[in-house]
Amino acid sequence: MHTDLVPATFTPAVACRILNCDRAFLEDVLARGVIHMDIIAASVSRSLIARADVEKLAGRQITIEDVAEAWHRGYGRRQINRRYYVKRMLAKAVRAANMCAVEAAP
């Protein structure tokens, strides 16, 4: 096992995929104090959950294979998000171009 390759923290989405649970379960165990958000994440816009807490919920050590599978299962969502943000940035560029054209018009 290559545990040195396993990240020390996970986003809630990756933790849910590793644990095969939904977000509601994760929010419940956080609210009950069973696990805690990573203290370092308090200053970051993303919440992170320590690997030790994910392992505590899983009841076993997390392997690199678990992480790779979770990453692979999240591929579809990442593609949807990427397409959404590309469309959003394109629409923003079109609006900016239209505003420049309006300002340049006599």
What is the per-residue DSSP string for 4-28? GGS-SEE-HHHHHHHHT--HHHHHH
Average pLDDT over residues 8-32: 90
Q: Is the pLDDT of residue 98 over 90?
A: no
Number of compact structural domains in the chain: 1
pTM, full prediction: 0.67
CA nearest neighbour of 8 among 36, 38, 50: 50
User: Residue 72: what residue type?
Assistant: H
Q: Is the pLDDT of residue 101 over 80?
A: no
End-to-end CA distance of the chain: 69
Average pLDDT over residues 16-44: 82
Domain holding 10: CATH number?
Answer: 1.10.1660
Q: Which domain holds residue 32?
A: 3-104
* pLDDT above 70 coverage of the chain, percent: 84
